[in-house]
Structure formats: C-alpha cells, structure tokens
Amino acid sequence: MDAGAPFVLVHGAWHGGWCWQRLAPLLRATGHEVYTPTLTGLGERAHLLAPTIDLTTHIDDVLAVLMYEDLTDVILVGHSYGGMVISGLIERASERIAQAVYLDAFLPEHGESIRDLGLPGLDELAATHGEGWRLPSLGTAAEFGVSDPHDAAWVDARLGDQPYATFTQPITLSSRGAAIPGAFILTSGGLFPAHADRARVRGFTVREFPEAGHDSMVTMPGSLAAMILDLVHTASPVTTS
C-alpha cells in the first residue's frame, strides 16, 4: 500500500464530518490525504434532513467522494453507525478500497439493520420525538465518553437528528470484499464488544482502547491517530457472512 494512501473517515449517527476536526490534521501530517464527508441530513447538511434518506443514501454519499475525487487505495475508517456505511462501500467499491478500520462500530452481516443490532425502543422513540422518520440522539456527549465540559458542550451543540430509515434499512452484503484487510478498535462497552467479537471471528486485527470512550476522535485524537496508523499496516482480511 502507498504510504500516502488517502483516508476517508465516515462519522457515526447524529454526528457529522465536524467530529474529525482533531484527528484529520494528525493523519495529514503523516503525508495522507484525508476526506471527512458529512452524510446527508447531518452536520452542515442538516437542512437536507428528509424521510427519504436511508442507508443507501449515505453509502452513495461516500461513494460519490471516492468517484469524484478519483480515490483509489483508500483506507476507510467508520465510526459507530459509520461501520454500516463502510461495509456497504466495501460491497460496492471494493476495487477502490485498500483497508477498512471499524472504530467502535457496527460490523453487520448480510440482511441486518441497526434496528436489528440490539437497540430497543427505536420505533417508539422515532414516533414520539421524530414524527416517525427521524431519531434524536440516544446519548449526550458525556454518554459518548466526552468528559471535558468544553468538549462536551462543543459536541452537544452539533449533534442532530438521524434519518430513521438509515437504521431500519437492511444492508446487502456478499463476499465481494473478502480480500480487503480489516481492523477493529473497541473504545466503549454496551453494544460494541459483540462487534469486536465478530471482528475476531472474521480474522480482523482488534485493539482495545477503553480509556478513550466512544467519541475517541474528540477525547484522545493523538493516541487514536497513532493506533490507526499502526493498524493500517497490520490489518487482516475482511470476510462477510
């Protein structure tokens, strides 16, 4: 792999490209191009929030970056819900992708949706607080592991509603990306240790970084950058179910 291979960092639910502001410069300083797209309906694209946005929309968002920026040999990093998006990208654009890093992320199997993966009460929450089609954040910055008050205020001010169809649409996967090396970084408890276990079964390189918390790109960007840069040289092949 080219030492200057481009990174594409894919944020999680309720976040936006803004969440990578501290991590991206550290990766760029090592000679990599870094792209931090914001998925439709979130962050600075919140004005586009609509019932029609689903998982396919978000996969298309990042696929367009790969195509229009003419990116190849890409290192994908997907945080939390972003694991669903990068899994879809591996399925649809494996020829452009060199490696994939799942950062405290969902690692889906064929036919699964976020709603299937252990988050109870989502339908009721969307119906009660989001007109049935959008979902307010399930956590605050503090619950995402951001303990510094200034940082927590910065994150909380930017969290936005998630289009709910992104959580209900099942993902379509095959073995197309089986040769792409994968890695997993586990930074929190709850749902994600089970996905780290899936990663181990699939032969991924798995690292644990619990002191960082879920939003590790905010809390400990320097240590996270070092870990990611190390992992991209030791990742193991992705396999799909």
Q: Report, as residue numbers or ranges, the catalytic residues.
A: 80
**Given the structure tokens 């009721």, which residue do they identify?**
124
Q: Give the Cβ contact number of residue 118 at 10 Å.
A: 11
**Given the structure tokens 């605050």, which residue do they identify?**
140
Q: Please state, in angstroms and rounded to a whole number, the distance separating the CA atoms of residues 228 and 103.
A: 9
Q: Give the Cβ contact number of residue 3 at 10 Å.
A: 9
The torsion region of residue 111 among left (phi > 0), alpha (psi -120 to 50) and beta comes to left
Q: Which of 54, 18, 61 is nearest to 39 (CA)?
A: 61
